[in-house]
């Protein structure tokens, strides 16, 4: 084997083997090729050592610890392969640089905080304009559906079906869409917003359901700016404190829905095993400081039913 591109050849052989089994490895492949160039340039022809792996992982231009940890996570399967053909290869210990992904601790809104936020939204400027109505209705829709923050703002008027109490939510990932069923009270609130919106904007410049005063779409960046303004105004921005986010309304919805199901005696492992195992186990933490999180934790660790559950 040519010692000048020693690591590059091993990486190519590894990628060819994995891809033969159907793995695409596009991003992983790019990262491993980057490592190979680094290794051949700085330690040409030498075995892959833990020191070399750490130097490459920490050489990222971002300087972030999570980026270095993610690089090492990508490298570990390759080192295990390489050791079968190069016995002097050293496999870096797992999580030696910490977790490869940082998860924000969810903030679970209390009823009082939700009321305060909605009241503050009604006073957004311009007074008497459409902005306060759009943002307030948007927040209410988030709180009662658990939708992701950007999803309601991608709705068009054609996506909102008042007759069947449904929304067609278009997802950017994989170009998919899903149907969200609304409670009749939510449908009524959206109908009222649409009536007010149409009285404000005679000639809309966008087919979006949520509009700004000038008839353009009330897009996600406008919602983020409005939320951050209200967060500061309400005094929710304090040094050293976890900041509430729009996305935390989704976490709050999940907690409250689980709590309601638990009170009704619903078998949660059958209703939503993926929500329980994937989302709650990874994202909920007792330090979020709300009794709903403690209830969700309790439900999460409840014994699973003895019968086999079909996972879909």
Catalytic residues: 148, 173
| Euclidean distance between CA atoms 267 and 165, whole angstroms | 26
Q: How many residues does the chain have?
A: 312
What is the distance, to the nearest Å, from the Cα of residue 175 to the centroid of all Cα atoms in its chain?
17
CB 227 within 8 A of CB 237: no
* Tokens matching residue 296: 């969700």
Q: Do the Cβ atoms of 97 and 72 come closer than 8 Å?
A: yes
179 beta partners: 168
Task: Give residue for tokens 């638990």.
Answer: 262
CA geometry: angle 37, 43, 44, nearest 5 deg: 70
């Amino acid at each position: 084997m040519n010692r000048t591109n020693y690591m590059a050849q091993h990486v190519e052989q590894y990628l060819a083997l994995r891809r033969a089994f159907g793995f695409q490895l596009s991003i992983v492949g790019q990262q491993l090729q980057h490592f190979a160039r680094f290794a051949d340039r700085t330690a040409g022809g030498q075995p892959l050592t833990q020191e070399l792996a750490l130097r490459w992982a920490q050489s990222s231009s971002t300087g972030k610890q999570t980026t270095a940890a993610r690089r090492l996570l990508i490298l570990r399967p390759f080192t295990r392969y390489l050791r079968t053909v190069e016995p002097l290869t050293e496999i870096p210990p797992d999580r030696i640089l910490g977790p490869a992904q940082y998860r924000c601790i969810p903030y679970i809104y209390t009823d009082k905080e939700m009321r305060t936020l909605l009241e503050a939204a009604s006073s957004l400027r311009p007074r008497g304009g459409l902005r306060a109505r759009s943002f307030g209705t948007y927040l209410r829709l988030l709180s009662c559906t658990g939708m992701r923050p950007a999803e309601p703002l991608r709705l068009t008027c054609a996506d909102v079906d008042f007759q069947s109490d449904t929304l067609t939510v278009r997802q950017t990932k994989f170009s998919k869409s899903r149907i969200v069923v609304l409670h009749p009270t939510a449908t009524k609130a959206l109908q009222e917003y649409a009536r007010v919106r149409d009285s404000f904007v005679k000639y809309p410049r966008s087919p979006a359901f949520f509009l700004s005063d000038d008839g353009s779409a009330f897009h996600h960046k406008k919602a983020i700016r409005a939320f951050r303004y209200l967060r500061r105004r309400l005094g929710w921005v304090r040094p050293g404190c976890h900041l509430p986010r729009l996305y935390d309304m989704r976490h709050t919805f999940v907690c409250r829905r689980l709590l309601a199901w638990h009170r009704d005696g619903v078998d949660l492992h059958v209703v939503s095993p993926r929500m329980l195992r994937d989302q709650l186990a990874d994202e909920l933490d007792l330090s979020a400081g709300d009794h709903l999180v403690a209830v969700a934790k309790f439900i999460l660790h409840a014994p699973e039913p003895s019968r086999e559950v079909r996972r879909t």
